[in-house]
Amino acid sequence: MARPTPELINALRKTAQSLKNGAPYQWGHMGGCNCGNLAQELTNLSKGQIHQYAMQRHGDWNEQAEDYCSTSQMPIDLLINEMLSAGLLLEDLKHLERLDDRQVLSRFPVEKRYLRHNMREDVVAYMIAWAELLEEQLLAKITLSSLQEVEFA
């Protein structure tokens, strides 16, 4: 599971809102699919740029994650590296593309856990649930002892 960072939580929420408001969505397009839309938010690259980078190598996001090399200078690897720097893990890219991370799905009622990976509404619901999960994990790390150094006047 991703590291819960404010940057990632914010990007998930913004991406979900953007999709909800009608941002271009096309599951079979590397720049307009589940990962592609999140990549747009995290990297400030366009749908077209992301797709162009991905097409320099074979495969979907799952295969791109499998073939990822941190020392490569291939544009798709640089893009993935930027996403990983925001807190994502390679496994998260695979789960996001299929909407199948068990921790995220456990936040839905049992009858609503069968999300369709290529349906905008399901992608939005998944991203919101994931952002909430990460925010809870982040807040759980904050303790009152970290605030003891603050003096109140």
Distance CA 132, CA 140 (A): 12
Q: Over the stretch 122-152, which tens digit does the pLDDT of each residue have? A: 999 999 999 999 999 998 887 655 555 555 5
Residue with tokens 């009608």: 22
Mean predicted confidence (pLDDT) in 11-37: 93
Question: Hey, is 30 helix, strand or coil?
Answer: coil
Question: Hey, is 55 helix, strand or coil?
Answer: coil
Q: Over the stretch 35-86, which tens digit does the pLDDT of each residue have? A: 999 999 999 999 999 999 988 888 888 888 988 888 888 899 999 999 999 9
pLDDT interval class at 19 (50, 70, 90): very high
Distance CA 52, CA 56 (A): 7
| Domain ranges for the chain | 6-141
Question: What is the pTM assigned to this prediction?
Answer: 0.87
Q: Which residues contact 81 (CB under 8 A, 6 or more apart)?
A: 70
